[in-house]
Amino acid sequence: MSPRGRRRASRKEVTEAAPPEGAVRLQKLLARAGVSSRRGGEALITAGRVMVNGQVVTELGIRVDPSKDEVAVDGRVIQRQAPVYLVMNKPDGVVCSAETTVDERGRPTVVSLIRGIDERVYPVGRLDFHTRGVLLLTNDGDLAARLTHPRHKVPKTYHAKFQGQLQPEDLQALSMGVTLEDGTRTRPLAEISVIKDTQTNTWAQLTLTQGLYRQVRRMGDAIGHPVLKLIRVSFAGVTADGLPEGDWRLLRDDEVARLRGLAAAPSSM
């Protein structure tokens, strides 16, 4: 809730107070400061929880000057954090949430596994509760938003254990795209190959450039072969090789540069 006695600032008042050179959108500043993602910043603004120079701001699109304007969330002035980028080998039974300990259902969060850094980070996208493997976390909300936006087609590779033995027609269907239960058509896969199969199940490697909710599991349901286990082995070329489950490491400079390059690449859509 906004503090009593504080009047709301109009877009005109804020933009006139902040010079246009160097000014950025308020939600972008919140993301850069590690407060939230851009979308989360928009929710904070419209809820009246953000103040600029002592005035509550509720309009989206307002621009501020990070070097001069004072921005506060819930009455607390934010300080821009140094950017942090890390990869975790997410274990089973941990939820992808920005909560620092447990979520609203009492389940441990990935952020609760982070120790040794002062900056607040949050997941780039999500992995299901029971899905393991590569998870990126950062306080760079701008990069996170770009990496998860479908127009950039950032590749993500999974190892999936399908129930039953996949036939060539099943692999072809997955490769070309399937229709999910809600009528959504998936994009063609960048890659699919069989790792190992038995009479009872098939392990396959899939590379997606799409990020629908529970996509791989829903694709398995669509072809009649439910996914029994799911591991993400790569996100945009970043792996968790050598990391025990639950551990994390900072990204190398070349990995960060590659992520920024993918996020800046023009869409082919």
Catalytic residue among 128, 142, 182, 254: 128
β-strand pairing of 63-64 with 85-90: unpaired
- Please check whether residue 212 is in contact with residue 150, taking contact to mean a CB–CB distance below 8 angstroms: no
- Please check whether residue 84 is in contact with residue 121, taking contact to mean a CB–CB distance below 8 angstroms: yes
**Which residue do the tokens 């877009």 mark?**
11
Helical H segments across 37-182, by residue range? 38-46, 141-148, 168-176
φ, ψ of residue 115 in degrees (nearest 5) = -135, 150
In which element (H, E) is residue 29 found?
Answer: helix 26-32
- Please check whether residue 56 is in contact with residue 46, taking contact to mean a CB–CB distance below 8 angstroms: no
Please list, in sequence order, all residues whose beta carbon lies within 8 angstroms of the beta carbon of residue 249, skipping any fewer than 6 positions away: 86, 87, 243
* The three-state (H, E, C) secondary structure of 4-25, written as one string: CCCCEECHHHHHHHCCCCCCEE
Both tokens assigned to 90: 């997410």
φ, ψ of residue 41 in degrees (nearest 5) = -65, -40
**How far apart, in whole angstroms, are the C-alpha atoms of residue 51 and residue 77?**
9
118 noted as active-site residue: no
**How far apart, in whole angstroms, are the C-alpha atoms of residue 265 and residue 269?**
12
The residues that are catalytic are 128
